[in-house]
Every structure is written in structure tokens, then in C-alpha cells.
Structure 1
Amino acid sequence: MTITQIRAFTLAATLGSFTAAAEYMGLTQPTVSELVKKIEDAYSITLFVRGGRRLVLTTAGQTLLPWAKRLLDAELGADSALTALNTGEGGTVSFGILQNASYYFLSDLATVFHKSYPNVRVRLVGQNSFEVADAVRNGELEAGLLCLPIPADGLQILPLMRHEIVWASANPERCEKAMAITDIPKEPLILYDAHHGWNDPTRHQLAQLAQLHGVTLEPKMEVESVDAAVSLVASGLGDTIVPKAVAQSETFPSQVYTTRLEEPIYDTFALVQRSNWELSPMASHLADLAVKMLTSNDAGLGEVLHSRMKSPMAAAEA
């Protein structure tokens, strides 16, 4: 059965004739009659007693009618939900966000979006880049911001900008010149993102660089957040790597010094969505807003690689 067949049957049963149902649907009477007959033929049943001035439901027709109404209600509900999501009058948008969003001017993303679309529910999920990539790939999130590199299968990736990673130490002598990868093991190493370890994009780059130089890096301490790592460094327990944005933030400890890596590595931020998948209008608007906040407020801390084209909705509102 098709929705059109169900609609023809329901209207004929409700209005009492194929002619009335045809007028309501904008079809001819024979067309509506044929739509109903296709259901009858498919199940070898009769839905109406024909011949009188008004159609009368058979037992089979009475059995089908409540289910037909449920199907049409579901269709109407689905249509209303999607229309609301397209117009900003309802629905939910799910978006992956960088774990350290506050360092990248994204703390107010939900607030700014909510001011424009107060009736849209927003799920901003802060995760490691690998988790964001998996969630987008699996359809749990519509899109997200993350750091490269990540496995690219099933994803459309748009690099946006990059921030240099710097060395951080409470020992000023360690920061008098650029840090060589071969000199890193001379002090205890503290690293963040303990859960994902060397799979974390930033740590992965550091490990690759060390491997090229025949150096083995074994962290003395591993913690989950960059703030925790910096706090341990400030206590003199070891050195770490941090994004430049973190090092230049107002909360960065004054007793922690920084220097560049002799061979630079970068956090490269990218917008990801599923391959061959068009974002919903609200998700596209949220993505545009996130990219704008990330790249416009950077104040020279990073290098912009690409500014995402505005979605038709965002362009119309500009």
C-alpha cells in the first residue's frame, strides 16, 4: 500500500463517496476508485459496499480505517517536524564541538544560535576528534568541528584553520630556544587526552615526528584535559605541549614558559559531515555560525585555511 492509496481510502470512507474524495485530492473519480481497488486486489478483500448513495465500510474496511488514520497522522507529523526544522520553528540540531571550545571563542555558540532560533533544541557534544568523526560518520551528529588528522572514510572534510603547537615548561632554560624533538626526553613528559593516547591527532603528530628522529616518547603523566596538564607543568613536575591559543590565554600560568617546536606541528581544525550528505538548514546555519566564530575571533593566533561558503539560509539572513 502507498500513502496515496491510504489517503484515497480514508477520504472515501470519511466523506462517503469516491467523488467527494476525488474533489478533495484534486483527482478524477475513476482515479480514486482505482487507488482503492489496488488495495482490495492486493489483499483479495472488499473495503466498501458499493451501489448505495453513500459508501459503506465492510468488516475489512472497518479494520483498516483506524490503521489508515494512524499512517496519515504519522505522515502529517513527520511533515510538520521536518518543516519546523527547516524554518527554525522546532526540531533538534546535533553538532560536535572541540573539547577546548572556550579557547577557540566557541563558548557562546549555543547562546548565539538560540537567540536566532529559540525553538530549536541544540545538542553540542564536546568530544575528542576521533569520537566526533565516528559520531558524524554513524549519523549520531549531523556535523562537527574537530582536529586533523582523522580517518577520512565516509566523511567530507573541510580544513578551516590551524594553530601552532608550542612547548611549555616551568624551566625557563628549556624555552630559551626552539625545542628539538631529540631534547624532549631530557625532562619528564606530561601529556593530556589520556583516554585516546597516541591516537589523539596532536599527540599522533608528535609521535610521528619522534619516530622520524628515532626518539621514543614515554609520558611520565597522562591526564585528560589540557588545563590539568598545564597545572602539573606549573608545579614543576614536567613539560608538555599546548596549542598556541591556550598558551596566550589570560588563564595561562605566568610561571610557565613556552617556545616553538624546532619542527612545528599544528592543530588543524576542520568542519566534517558525512560524504554525499546534505545538512539540514538548521545544521548548516549552526555550522556556518561555528566556523565564523572560530575564524573571525582568532585575533591572529592561527592561520585561516578556508572560510566556509554561507548556506543559502545564512546568506539570505546576512
Structure 2
Amino acid sequence: MNLRELQYLVALADLRNFRRAADACFVSQPTLSTQIRKLEDELGVALFERSPRKVMLTPAGQDAVARARRILTEMEGMKEAARRLSRPEAGIARLGVFPTLGPYLLPEVMPRVRERFPQLQLLLTEEKSDQLLARLNEGKLDAAILAMPVNDPGLHCEPLFEEPFLLAVPRHHPLAAARSLRLGDLSQHNLMLLEEGHCLRDQALEVCQLSGAREGSEFRATSLETLRQMVLAGLGVTLMPALAARGMVPYADRLHLLRFEDSSPSRQIGLFWRKTSAMAPLLLQLAEVLRGVPPELLDPPGEPRPAELA
């Protein structure tokens, strides 16, 4: 058994097609098929069910693929460690971020990252949080910006900042007359939320539970932009993170952004990486840069607080 055979095994498991797996590994299909069969003979079990139209993993194959991924991740970590020892701030770093934060945070912090690490090639991936976690644990990402907490003992978390939530309401909504908001004011109101899979949905549901608000059952959005447009159209109210809410200020004639004055709901943002990662020293430095988000960007852009009106 060798590393190349494990690479063939993982490629076939991912693509479920011998020809595509061979192309991905830059070998001929007969070569890949022979090596997979050799691996099965060595292990004494069938790893794949083969049919003319599809390839499926057997239970033994699922276990073997999981182990192969871990081995390949560790080998890649060994190579990366060697690269980092020779050039600690050069090379490639693969960073993931979830979609209700990435479009609003990255334009603010990327110039600072490039200034601090001019030789670092940062490859960005935007996915939902559960997909980012899977890619992080598979070694396909080096780090990910996620909402805390994340219950994974294999990951290290470096807290970055706290992002408050605001309530976005149409100008004609009963709550629009208020200058600020208490959680109890949401009682009996319906909130438009994102679809399943977005961490912001889970955070908004927690606010609903605390306040007595309900989820509007007739609509679930696929993005914050969709929620914004629904509020602008006067079709409902929603929770909006502070960074995203700043993009709604130009529409002040059509909507109202309300700050919460008690138990202000927010989300904690952190940078996560594998505890075994050889890139930890670099990622600690990256966290310092990401932590430097200007405070005014996290100050909710809603109606002024009473102290600000004096």
C-alpha cells in the first residue's frame, strides 16, 4: 500500500466514476482500476460495488476512505510544515467564510491582509458553515471564519469580534416609529428568516425563542440580499447583522434599522483551524489582522441612541 493508491481511492470515492477519477489523478483508467483492485486484494475486502452505470462504496470502502483522507491530510500537513519552516509567510492559505459574513467583511479586511502578508496567496471559499467544517476537517481548507461556538474538539478557535444584530423593518411597519427596541417588543411579530443550513437562521431562531417572536411560515430566503429586498418591498421584517446592515443605510427612506437596547442579540465570530495544523503560527497572525475590523463597522447603523441625540 502506498500514498498514490490512497489518492486513487479517495478520488474514486469522490467522483464515483473510474474515468473521471483517472483524469483527476492524471493516469489512465486501466492504471487506476488496477491499483484499486490491488488495494482491495491487499486488504482482502471489496471497497466498491461496480456496475455499468455507477460505482458505490461498500461499508469497508467507507471506512477505508475515511482513514485514507486522514492519512493524506497528515501527509499534506507534513509537507506544509516543511514549506512554512523555510518561508513562514509565503505560499498558499485556503480560507473559508460563510455567506452571511463574507461579502460584508472581506472587502474591509483583505487590503489589510495583503499589506501584512504580501507574499501570501490567500484562496477564499464561501460556503455554508456545515460545508466549511467538513472541508476543514478533510484538509481541503486551512482555516475558516465561523460563528461561535463550534463543538469540534479537533479544532482551535481564535475569537475575532462580536457582531450585533439589528431589526430591519419597512417604514410603514408599526415598529418603525420606535427609535430603539427591546426583545420583548418582537413578541407576536413574524420574522422572515433564511433557509435551512445558514448559521444565521439558527441565531435568529434563538432570538425568536427569547423574544416570543415567530418565524414567518410563508417564505424562507436563500440570501441576506433577498431578505433585504423583501423588507424594501414592505413584505416583512428580519434580523440583519451589523456589517450587512450598513449596506441598507442608503435606503433609509424605505426602511428603518432598529438597535436593541436590552440583551442586545449578536453573534461571536472566530477563526478556526485544526489543532494539528502546521500553519498555526501564521493563522494566529492572520487572526490578529482579521480582529482589526474598524470598530465603527461593528457599531450598528440604526436610529441614534438617546445619548447621541443630546
Query: Which category describes the TM-score, using the shorter chain as reference length?
Result: 0.5 to 0.7
Query: TM-score, normalised to structure 2's length?
Result: 0.57
Cα distance between partner residues in 1 of 2:132 and 2:159: 15
Let me know the Cα RMSD of the aligned residues: 3.5
Alpha-carbon displacement from aligned partner over 1:23-64 (angstroms, at most 9, x marks no partner): xxxxxxxxxxxxxxxxxxxxxxxxxxxxxxxxxxxxxxxxxx
**Residue 270 of structure 1: how far off its partner (Å):** 0.9
SS in 1 for 2:288: helix
Superposition pairs for residues 1-318 of structure 1, below 5 Å?
82-83=82-83, 86-87=86-87, 91-99=91-99, 100-104=101-105, 106-107=106-107, 109-110=109-110, 112-114=112-114, 120-170=120-170, 171-175=172-176, 176=178, 177-180=180-183, 183=186, 185-187=188-190, 189-192=191-194, 194-196=195-197, 200=199, 202-211=200-209, 216-249=214-247, 252-254=250-252, 255-261=254-260, 263-279=263-279, 282-292=282-292, 294=293, 297-299=294-296, 301=298
- Over 3 Å counting, the alpha-carbon distance change for 1:147 and 1:119 in structure 2 is same
Q: Distance in 1 between matches of 2:272 and 2:115?
A: 25
Runs of 4 or more, structure 1, over 4 Å off, are 78-81, 108-120, 212-216, 280-285
Q: Indicate the SS of the match to 1:158.
A: strand
Report the CA distance between 1:181 and its aligned residue.
5.1
8 Å CA contact retained: 1:81, 1:91: no
Q: Residue type of the partner of 1:247? A: A
- Cα deviation, residue 102, structure 1: 4.2
Deviation at 1:272, TM superposition (A): 1.2
Contact 2:113 2:286 in 1 (8 A): yes
Distance in 2, Cα, partners of 1:163 & 1:279: 27
* Partner SS, residue 295 of structure 2: coil
Q: 1:127–1:86: structure 2 CA closer, same or farther, 3 Å change rule?
A: farther
Q: CA deviation at 1:282?
A: 4.8
Quote the sequence identity (%): 19
Q: Give the drift of 1:301.
A: 2.5
Cα deviation code 1:233-262 (max 9, x no counterpart):
011011110012332346552111122345
How many residues were matched structurally? 217
Cα distance change on mapping 1:85 and 1:224 into 2, 3 Å: farther
Shift of 1:156: 1.4
Query: Residues 97 and 144 of structure 1 are in contact (CA less than 8 Å); yes or no, is this contact kept in structure 2?
Result: yes
Consecutive unaligned residues in structure 2, runs of 5 or more:
1-77, 301-310
**Unaligned residue ranges in structure 1 (runs of 5+):** 1-77, 304-318
Distance 1:248 1:235, change over 3 A: same
**Distance in 2 separating the partners of 1:79 and 1:164:** 40
Higher strand share: 2
Structure number with larger C-alpha Rg: 1
Name the TM-score, length of structure 1 as normaliser: 0.56
Q: Which moved more, 1:255-264 or 1:113-122?
A: 113-122
Aligned residue in 2 for 1:53: none
